[in-house]
């Protein structure tokens, strides 16, 4: 298999880190994260490239993907793993927490997918995998804002997938259940589930989708994985 170039945003911890770790064994990988020290650590841990990028900033996303192409050539795939937790009743959330969740989960998803698709359309191929959440499928009264912001990404991906009119550019999503990640640790005991999956288990599915070729089964736009940890 020829080495390809992949971008993993939210790649400094949890699922994103595991996706990068698996890909880096055979491919060129660039991790994106918004904290310099975390990017530096993840880059050394995985043995790949890394750039500081806040996905909610259009200028930073544009510059980061441009730099990836300059360093490593065309982007073969993007794993969009970056997300911001926002748990608890809406009335208990601060305006700052509400704003940041929307910036990362809504604006950041829109900006990142837009910039990636511009490049994939220009080169005529490539895959995008959006990491949604099982919470978008089942109403969770304790996480209304998180569920709403992740549901935005699900809706966006469904439309973008149909808009490509080509199996050469696949826009896909997975809906994993709870995982042992830093985000899950921030959830708090009242939101924790007794059954969960390991990030590496879900990462293997993300990688499988990223590596699909134009002639592989048509899965663009499909909710490929809906898992609650029981598998």
pLDDT, tens digit, 9 for 90 and up, residues 152-206: 999 999 999 889 888 899 999 998 877 655 555 555 555 555 556 788 989 999 9
In a domain, 61, yes or no: yes
Q: How many domains does the chain have?
A: 1
In a domain, 190, yes or no: yes
Percentage with pLDDT > 90 across the chain: 70
Residue 231: what pLDDT? 32
Lateral strand order in the sheet of 5-9: 49-52, 28-33, 5-9, 77-80, 126-131, 169-175, 223-226
Range among 76-90, 101-115, 137-151, 160-174 with highest mean pLDDT value: 101-115
Kindly report, residue by residue over 28-50, the tens digit of the pLDDT. Answer: 999 999 999 999 999 999 999 99
Parent domain of 182: 5-226
- Report the candidate in 151, 196, 152, 157 with the shortest Cα–Cα distance to residue 173: 157
Q: What pTM does this model have? A: 0.89
Residue 78: what pLDDT? 98
In a domain, 231, yes or no: no
Range among 197-201, 208-212, 225-229 with highest mean pLDDT value: 208-212
CATH number where 93 lies: 3.40.50.720
CB within 8 Å of 138: residues ≥ 6 apart:
none
Kindly report, residue by residue over 109-123, the tens digit of the pLDDT. Answer: 999 999 999 999 999
């Amino acid at each position: 298999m020829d080495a390809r170039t992949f971008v993993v945003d939210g790649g400094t911890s949890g699922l994103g880190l595991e996706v990068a770790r698996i890909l880096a064994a055979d491919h060129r990988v660039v991790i994106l994260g918004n904290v310099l020290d975390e990017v530096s650590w993840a880059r050394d841990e995985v043995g790949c490239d890394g750039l500081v990028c806040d996905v909610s900033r259009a200028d930073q996303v544009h510059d980061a993907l441009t730099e990836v192409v300059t360093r490593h050539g065309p982007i073969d795939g993007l794993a969009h793993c970056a997300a911001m937790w926002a748990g608890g009743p809406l009335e208990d959330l601060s305006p700052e927490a509400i704003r940041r969740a929307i910036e990362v989960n809504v604006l950041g998803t829109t900006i990142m997918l837009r910039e990636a698709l511009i490049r994939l359309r220009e080169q005529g191929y490539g895959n995008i995998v959006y990491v949604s959440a099982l919470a978008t499928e089942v109403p969770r009264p304790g996480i209304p804002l998180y569920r709403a912001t992740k549901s935005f990404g699900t809706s966006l991906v469904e439309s973008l997938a149909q808009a490509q009119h080509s199996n050469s550019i696949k826009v896909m999503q997975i809906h994993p259940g709870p995982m042992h990640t830093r985000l899950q640790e921030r959830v708090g005991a009242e939101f924790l589930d007794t059954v969960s999956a390991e990030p590496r288990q879900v990462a293997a599915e993300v990688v499988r989708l990223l590596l699909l070729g134009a002639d592989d089964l048509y899965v663009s736009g499909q909710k490929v994985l809906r898992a609650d940890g029981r598998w």
